[in-house]
Chain A
Amino acid sequence: MAADAAPSPAATGAAEPRHGLRIFLIWLVASAIADPLLWFVLGPHMPPGAMTDAAASQQVDLNVMAVMSAPVTIFVIIYFIYALVVWRHREGDDEDGPAIHGNARISALWIGGTAVIVLSLFVYGTVRLISPPGAGGGEGNTPVWRPAGAPAAAALAAQTSAWQPGSVLQVQVIAQQWWFTYRYPQLGGFETTHLMLPVGQEIQFNVTSLDVIHSFWAYQLGVKADANPQLNNVAYVKTEHTGSVVVRCSELCGLWHGAMFDYGKVMPLAQFQAWAASTRTQLVALTTELPPYALTYDANAVKQLGKAFHQAGLFGAGGGYYGPQYPVSP
């Protein structure tokens, strides 16, 4: 050690400060400030908002994650800064610090704390999948978690009776390259190109595809469900606030995947009923031409008709019909 260097506490005989206690107190104060700010100030603005119970639930989950992770992040930052300031190398001080390996108390604290955080989040996350039912995610054709009064998916196709406010409103989401369309089986079975929903109602999305795999992602609704051909994927939400909705495809599905988005709306009940009545009337000619409502639609049916056309010598553009020599690589 150089003669003009600042003497270390050990060299002068002074007691070593209680660094752990210092860091703990600084961390405690910083965390006590940060967490309420995160929860009460930033929390209400966290995505995806609170338009539905699923969205609100996801917002709470994100807030919980933020509140739990902030103290961990703050600890790392404080420790880093403390080490830089207090334990920095000083001119002429070439003495090694004490070895820190083999400290069972720190090891137990670190492993135990990490385990508690991870396991508690595991339990929390699992519970949050149940309430609200499915947390806005697609649950497949036979959803495990359903709102009270929601019919089983298998019974959906037959339930085309008129919808009554307060009961579950079924909305079929039909994905195709490259647009979503929406069918309302309880409102006459009409199909539209924009998603309209009433506020304060339980919604049952039945998501399917007519061609490749898409994903129905209604961000503000807190819904994300894959759209698979020949499969019905059910997701539930309860609308709680009016507002605009952006629907995007979140599964890379081809050339216009990036343009496969549209806008919808959650509107007051009376306004929705008026919209449904007028749309039903406007689309009556189209609705009569639609196939009967079903949970999935067979895109291969196009092949069959294309095949018939082909065999009849009508060489059209093909209609998705694959002859024995197909598919071929482009």
Chain B
Amino acid sequence: MSVSARAVTLLVAFLAVVAGAFFIVIHYLLGGPPTVDYTSSASGGQVNVTMQTDASSNPQAVADHPTWVSYFIKSPQTGAWLHTTLFTVPAHTRVNVTILGYDGSTPIRNQVWGHVTGTIGDVAYYGGKPVQVVNGWNGPYLIQHTFAIPALGVSVPVEAGPGTCLTGPCTNKAHSTTTFSFMSPSAGTYRWQCFIPCGLSFLYGNGGPMSTIGYMSGNMQVVG
């Protein structure tokens, strides 16, 4: 092989490696779930965040793992349900959260997560009825998931839906409605997660969706 041919081969191989590395970096940096921005919709010191939980999803909405249980977050700008667990709220603002439950019940592993904490008044509302301690094993209310921001002490058991929706995001099926409010802290990133072992078929129920951003774990970005 001539010197020029070897040089060209080397150059092409080098460019291929660079392109591959570039693709991987871009894929991981930009390929994650979108972030729902609630900062622009805040008014009067409050912001309304709306989510839903689904037992599984429409493959057209969730291409990667449609059989996984998942949260969806409603965009305040378009009203569309986005498959993500990342959202942004302004600092020192009352965050009013509404979670529509389209999933069935899951027994709670540690009953301590059946206790509503960190919300304003340490209370949540199931269909408008106040609850503070929910026994996920015996009722009268059943739990499907929890919404917890451990760093803020926020922990809310989410009421199970009357049935399950397998084609999330769902809009026209019967569902439960859990509401609560908490004050957003100073600027920063705060992880939130579900504490119910809802990762079917995974070790102790905590793998899969429980361990994947965009399904049952995410981040709340607080901006100053």
Contacts and interface: CB of A to CB of B under 8 A. Distances in A.
State yes or no: do A and B come from one complex.
yes
Interface of A: 174, 176-179, 181, 191, 193, 210-212, 229, 254-256, 259, 262, 283, 285-286, 289-291, 299, 302, 305-306, 309, 314-323, 326-328, 330
B104 A320 contact: no
Contact of B55 (A211, A290, A315): A315
B110 A305 contact: no
Interface string B186-224: 000001010111111111111110111100010000000
Identify the interface centre among A291, A315, A317, A327: most chain B CB within 10 Å of its CB.
A317
A246 to B, nearest CB: 13
Contact of A255 (B55, B112, B133, B212): B212
A316 B110 contact: no
Contact of A286 (B133, B145, B160, B213): B133
Interface string B100-122: 00011111011110110100000
Interface of A is mostly: loop
27 contacts: A176-B195, A177-B204, A177-B210, A181-B110, A193-B112, A211-B204, A229-B204, A255-B212, A259-B151, A286-B112, A290-B111, A299-B109, A299-B204, A302-B197, A306-B107, A309-B104, A316-B55, A316-B106, A316-B144, A317-B69, A317-B106, A317-B144, A317-B145, A318-B200, A319-B205, A320-B109, A326-B201
A193 B150 CA distance: 9
Interface of B: 55, 69, 103-107, 109-112, 114-115, 117, 132-133, 135, 137, 144-145, 150-151, 153, 155, 160, 164, 191, 193, 195-208, 210-213, 217
Contact of A291 (B111, B191, B193, B196): B111
A239 B198 CA distance: 39
A314 B150 contact: no
A67 to B, nearest CB: 40
A188 to B, nearest CB: 14
A181 B114 CA distance: 13
A178 B199 CA distance: 14
Contact of A289 (B69, B104, B114, B150): B114
Contacts of B151: 259
A26 B164 CA distance: 80
B208 A330 contact: yes
Given A177-B204, A193-B117, A299-B197, 10 more contacts: A176-B195, A211-B109, A254-B206, A290-B112, A305-B107, A306-B106, A317-B199, A318-B69, A318-B199, A319-B197
Nearest to A179: B150
A181 to B, nearest CB: 5
A314 B115 contact: no
Contacts of B69: 317-318
Nearest to A309: B105
Contact of A327 (B103, B106, B160, B201): B201
B112 A305 contact: no
